Amino acid sequence: MTVVAGGASAARPQLIRAINEQVLLDHIRRSGPVSRTELASLTGLSKPTVFAALGTIERAGLVHATGQRTGVPGPAAILYGVRPEAGFVLALDVGHEFLRGAVADLAGTTRSRLSVRTKAANAMGRVQELADLAAKLLTEAGIEASQLTQTVIGSPGVYDPKRDTLTLTGRLSGWDSPAVLPALRERFGSSLMIENDVDAAALAERVHGHGQEVDSFAFVSVGTGIGMGLVLDGKLRHGAHGVAGEISYLPFAEGSGSDVRDARKRGNFDASASAAAVVRAAKRAGVRRASTAEKVFAAAARGDAIAAAVVAEEALMVAKVVCTVITVVDPELIVLGGGIGQAPGFLEAVIDQVRVLAPVLPDIKATELGTDTVVAGCLAAGLDQAWQHLISRISPPT
């Protein structure tokens, strides 16, 4: 991050102050409680500049004194940290079977977390369920809706600005209706932000998971739906049209579970390798009681040779997609997520196939973040957006 000191005479003073305040806030967020002297050392700003900027953001209620550092030579230094109550973020995950959500304060501490099975028969019913879940989360967190700084909904699909709708929404029937976004805005207000659910999962992996130590990785989610979140040079990439990572549309349609109708609606690879495709392949092959992909994998683990062949076919298809990602992007890391991506033994089966297919073998790992990955990513995105909003209110650049 560029630090602008007082000697930059060509820059406007208000802009300089705003940048300096943002620099301080960023260091306080990431470094925890720090003293004014430490902030001067970390940022390269003069002590008078630090004292002035810190005073502004403290009066704005974004930071506060958290204590004193003792046990070192000299006077005890006052430590400054984020004031958690300065803002709150609501994160919601719209799934095919479950709705999940959480509320976090500005320091990133989760104040409430809930998960409910959806019963909605249509898109408007799902919108109402989200509003009901949000109300419960706010009550549990002990805050009012007016205290929210940012709301982020993780949803399948890609935003189409020309039509102001979501497209490519997978198995969420009616979620691409032109009425959905206005209904969401009506209930959640102007602070609403929509993030693709798999992209949100990739953000969570970047902040909390295997992606913390690398600059480039792909989060490949295989489950009820199929998608990918791509992080390059430390940043989430959406592409020119927002469809970067929509791997469900890769022209792979070779699995025995492939379905022509699914291919038209959700893409060839989704029709061949999603959870529904695994079930179809297992039933066609004669696997008994193959009502879910989880049961097919369980049967394979028990030694059912037919189920094991279905799982091996699934691993090969996913390995081909991983190989495609490797040859196009060459990331340092591939993270598998989703119900199938995290299934016992599946990671090893995919790695064995990639080792044969790909020109190089990057690290390939299964996510360890569990079912709240999308919510965690939405919280991360919401906190970044909330900070930007709050900072702009202190010293808006002109």
What's residue 360's pLDDT?
Answer: 97
What's residue 2's pLDDT?
Answer: 41
Residue 341, both tokens: 């991506």
Can you tell me which residue has the tokens 């009681």? 289
What's residue 3's pLDDT?
Answer: 44
| DSSP character at residue 336 | E
Residue 253, both tokens: 């349609």
- Fold type of domain 86-197+374-391: Nucleotidyltransferase; domain 5 (3.30.420)
Cβ-in-10-Å burial (0-12, 13-18, 19+) of 239 comes to exposed
Residue 326, both tokens: 């490797």
What's residue 92's pLDDT?
Answer: 98
Residues carrying CATH 3.30.420.40, the chain? 86-197+374-391, 210-368
What's residue 227's pLDDT?
Answer: 94
Could you tell me the CATH superfamily of domain 210-368? ATPase, nucleotide binding domain (3.30.420.40)
What does pTM read for this prediction?
0.86
The answer to whether 212 touches 206, Cβ cutoff 8 Å, is yes
What's residue 254's pLDDT?
Answer: 61
289-301 residue pLDDT tens = 899 999 999 999 9
Residues, the chain: 398
- Taking CA atoms, 54 is separated from 35, 39, 60, in Å, by 10, 9, 10
- Fold type of domain 13-82: Arc Repressor Mutant, subunit A (1.10.10)
- Bridge pairing between strands 192-196 and 148-155: parallel
What's residue 398's pLDDT?
Answer: 53
Residue ranges in the chain whose pLDDT is less than 70: 1-12, 70-75, 253-265, 395-398
What's residue 66's pLDDT?
Answer: 86
Residues carrying CATH 1.10.10.10, the chain? 13-82
